[in-house]
């Protein structure tokens, strides 16, 4: 900030000078202004209220059609076996840097206190849809498991493969403990269907669509993202250069 103000003052003074002196002075000044802009951009991101709520909507605002995007069915032998048994044999594993690793059944997830929210999903491909989601807070599940102090990120391991790679995603602890971050087991008042990520999918409402991992099989607390996938924090980040921070 101070740098930018000094740069402005220097720029102002430069206009009083003549000829090449002015040009000489203006060069470095412009550099300083540019670095000031970068600094402001960084500060802005730091200053975003990461705990602010995403907008919620009324039932009559829900989209009549909510598109299925990406994987529509993991279609592996293991997943198909679980699905044909209504996911009775499925367990959500919560592990990594936790004091008490958990294996939760769908019935257990459904019996936990849950949140209901009607939110807008924004996909980078240029479509949005408003839907209702229900499920326990991720933060509550992480408290049950007892996150260790070293944990910095939460990784979601999914059942599907896309372009030959396992789908995975990750978020930081601010998003993990955000009051609208839930593991959704129901959508629009019905159990989550296969297209939208059965038996459970992440809803992380301040982030773009690709962060909302479907078909979650495991939740892992880690200190760093280096050892997962190619180390950039998700399938799209690793293979298509998407930003890891997809805040909206």
Ligand X SMILES: Nc1nc2c(c(=O)[nH]1)N[C@H]1C(S)=C(S)[C@@H](COP(=O)(O)O)O[C@H]1N2
**How many Cα neighbours within 13 Å face the side chain of 25?**
17
CB of 220 to Mo ion, least distance (A): 22
CB of 122 to Mo ion, least distance (A): 8
Rounded CA separation 167/172 (Å)? 18
- Give the x/- contact pattern for Mo ion in 200-219, rule: CB under 5 A: ---------xx---------
Check residue 213 for interaction with ligand X (CB under 6 A). yes
Residue from 119, 167, 170, 182 binding ligand X (CB under 6 A) = 167
Question: φ, ψ for residue 172 (rounded to 5)?
Answer: -90, 180
CB of 78 to Mo ion, least distance (A): 25
Would you list the DSSP string of 195-231?
TTTTT-EEE-TTB-GGGS--SEEEEEEES-STTSTTS
196 binds, among ligand X, Mo ion, none (CB under 5 to 8 A by kind): ligand X
141 binds, among Mo ion, ligand X, none (CB under 5 to 8 A by kind): none
Rounded CA separation 33/36 (Å)? 5
Check residue 140 for interaction with ligand X (CB under 6 A). no
CB of 143 to ligand X, least distance (A): 25
Other CB atoms closer than 10 Å to residue 45's CB: what's the count?
A: 11
Computed over its alpha carbons, how large is the radius of gyration of the chain?
A: 23
Task: Enumerate binding residues for ligand X (CB under 6 A).
Answer: 67-71, 123, 158, 160, 162, 167, 195-197, 209-210, 212-215
């Amino acid at each position: 900030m101070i740098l930018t103000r000094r740069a402005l003052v220097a720029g102002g003074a430069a206009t009083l000078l003549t000829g090449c002196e002015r040009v000489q002075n203006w060069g470095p000044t412009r550099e300083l202004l540019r670095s000031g802009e970068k600094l402001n951009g960084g500060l802005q991101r730091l200053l975003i209220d990461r705990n602010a709520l995403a907008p919620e909507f009324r039932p009559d605002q829900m989209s009549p059609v909510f598109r299925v995007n990406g994987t529509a069915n993991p279609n592996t032998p293991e997943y198909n076996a679980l699905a044909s048994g209504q996911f009775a044999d499925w367990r959500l594993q919560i592990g990594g840097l936790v004091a008490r690793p958990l294996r939760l059944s769908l019935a257990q997830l459904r019996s936990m206190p849950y949140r209901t929210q009607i939110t807008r999903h924004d996909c980078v491909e240029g479509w949005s849809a408003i839907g209702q989601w229900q499920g326990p807070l991720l933060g509550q599940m992480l408290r049950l498991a007892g996150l260790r102090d070293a944990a910095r990120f939460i990784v979601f391991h999914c059942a599907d493969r896309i372009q030959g790679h396992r789908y995975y995603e990750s978020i930081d602890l601010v998003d993990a403990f955000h009051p609208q971050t839930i593991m959704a087991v129901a959508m629009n008042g019905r159990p989550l269907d296969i297209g939208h990520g059965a038996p459970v999918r992440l809803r992380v409402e301040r982030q773009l669509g690709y962060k909302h991992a479907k078909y979650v099989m495991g939740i892992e607390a880690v200190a760093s993202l280096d050892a997962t996938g190619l180390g950039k924090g998700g399938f799209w980040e690793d293979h298509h250069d998407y930003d890891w921070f997809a805040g909206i």
